[in-house]
């Protein structure tokens, strides 16, 4: 990866990177990403202004931002998976929602209460709950590794005089991820360790009920053996970009989550049989009556809800691109 010219990085971000590096010439990619996305003053998810939607200055579109139908489908699915009485006794906790963009915004729901835990807010979940997230785990900092000359080498970011560049970090003992014994020369693994850690922190809270996360990800087998260029990417102005170091703080950074790691974190803390399904399959199986009623109500015309349903379920749109991981922990 080529160095990004110094003017492309905000001076405040560069200073935050130097502080995080603690005097070292480079820092691991997870630390770079944490600063670029979450630095309190200039991080991508901390800055003011729109990021999600169709308007000027936005960078990407999420299911919850496309229409209220996504939230209505989520409500119908949760009610089916928990049962009416359990849903009525539960608090709906949305993790990572931006202010004004919650999935239940403006939607009638059966839950006892609803709230969201935003970026940087304390994570406290107690009692009967539905813990929901949409595209939160893919935005957690990840570490990068490349197989070269017979061993895995961690990739980091050098700061220098302000120009950012990808570098190999000095070997520091055992790798913090279960990397394969060998790989083709140049194979890259983007290891979403913090996503798995976040799942563990959520599951460690004293609550029972339904965990439901929508995101895009792969199995460990796919990450370790079927994605030789890694899964990291950047998004800006609704375009996917390959330069992960360009304009830190002004573009989104993401990689595929490892569904196996998230499911293992839930399973270790008492969730029964975590299940992964495509978004299409999840909603079709759990919202059949709701979808049928919607189709009947709009028979003979292509309503906004029908267009949204096509976008959410069709394999060519979001239906197969996104998956749903869900599991229940009994009281």
DSSP 52: B
Lowest model confidence (mean pLDDT) among 63-67, 85-89, 234-238, 256-260: 63-67
For residue range 242-258, what is the model confidence (pLDDT) as tens digits? 899 999 999 999 999 99
d(Cα 91, Cα 115) in Å, to the nearest integer?
A: 8
DSSP 229: B
Instruction: For helices 279-286 and 288-297, give the axis angle rounded to 10 degrees.
Output: 80
Non-local (6+) Cβ contacts of 23 within 8 A are none
Supply the pLDDT for residue 2.
44
Higher pLDDT, 17 or 303: 17
What number is the average pLDDT over the span 289-311? 82
Do 234 and 240 meet the contact criterion of CB atoms below 8 Å apart?
A: yes
* pLDDT band (50, 70, 90) for residue 1: very low
* pLDDT band (50, 70, 90) for residue 5: very low
Provide the strand spans (E) within the chain: 26-28, 91-95, 113-117, 127-134, 143-148, 151-158, 165-168, 188-191, 207-215, 217-218, 233-236, 239-241, 252-254, 257-258, 272-278, 323-329
Across the chain, mean pLDDT equals 89
Supply the pLDDT for residue 100.
65
What number is the average pLDDT over the span 290-303? 80
Supply the pLDDT for residue 6.
41
Higher pLDDT, 122 or 52: 122
d(Cα 212, Cα 74) in Å, to the nearest integer?
A: 9
Supply the pLDDT for residue 47.
79
Find where tokens 């991981």 sit.
325
Supply the pLDDT for residue 39.
93
* pLDDT band (50, 70, 90) for residue 198: very high
What number is the average pLDDT over the span 58-68? 63
Helix (H, G, I), strand (E, B) or coil at 40: coil
Residue 104: pLDDT over 90: yes
Between strands 257-258 and 217-218, the pairing is parallel
Between strands 239-241 and 252-254, the pairing is unpaired
Supply the pLDDT for residue 50.
65
Lowest model confidence (mean pLDDT) among 62-66, 165-169, 229-233: 62-66
Non-local (6+) Cβ contacts of 18 within 8 A are 159
What domains are there in the chain, each with its CATH number? 6-329 (3.40.50.12710)
What number is the average pLDDT over the span 275-300? 90
């Amino acid at each position: 990866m080529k160095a990004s010219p110094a003017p492309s990085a905000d001076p405040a971000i560069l200073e935050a990177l130097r502080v995080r590096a603690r005097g070292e010439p480079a820092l691991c990619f997870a630390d770079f990403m944490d600063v670029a996305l979450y630095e309190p003053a200039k991080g991508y998810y901390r800055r003011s202004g729109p990021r999600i939607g169709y308007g000027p200055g936005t960078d990407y579109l999420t299911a919850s931002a496309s229409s209220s139908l996504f939230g209505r489908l989520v409500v119908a699915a949760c009610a089916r998976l928990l049962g009416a009485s359990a849903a009525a006794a539960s608090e709906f906790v949305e993790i990572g929602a931006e202010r004004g963009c919650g999935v239940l915004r403006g939607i009638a729901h059966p839950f006892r209460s609803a709230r969201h835990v935003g970026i940087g807010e304390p994570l406290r979940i107690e009692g009967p709950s539905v813990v929901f997230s949409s595209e939160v785990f893919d935005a957690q900092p990840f570490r990068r590794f490349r197989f070269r000359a017979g061993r895995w080498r961690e990739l980091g970011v050098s700061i220098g005089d302000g120009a950012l560049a990808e570098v190999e970090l000095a070997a520091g003992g055992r790798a913090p991820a279960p990397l394969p014994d060998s790989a083709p020369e140049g194979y890259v693994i983007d290891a979403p360790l913090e996503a798995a850690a976040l799942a563990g922190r959520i599951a460690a809270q004293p609550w029972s009920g339904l965990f439901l996360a929508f995101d895009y990800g792969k199995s460990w087998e796919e990450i370790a053996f079927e994605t030789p260029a890694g899964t990291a990417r950047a998004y800006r102005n609704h375009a996917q970009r390959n330069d992960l170091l360009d304009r830190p703080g002004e573009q989104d950074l993401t990689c595929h989550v490892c569904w196996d790691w998230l499911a293992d974190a839930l399973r270790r803390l008492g969730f029964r049989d975590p299940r992964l399904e495509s978004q299409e399959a999840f909603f079709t199986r759990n919202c059949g009556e709701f979808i049928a009623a919607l189709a009947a109500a709009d028979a003979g015309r292509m309503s906004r809800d029908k267009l949204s349903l096509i976008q959410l379920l069709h394999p060519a749109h979001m239906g197969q691109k996104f998956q749903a991981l869900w599991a229940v922990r009994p009281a």
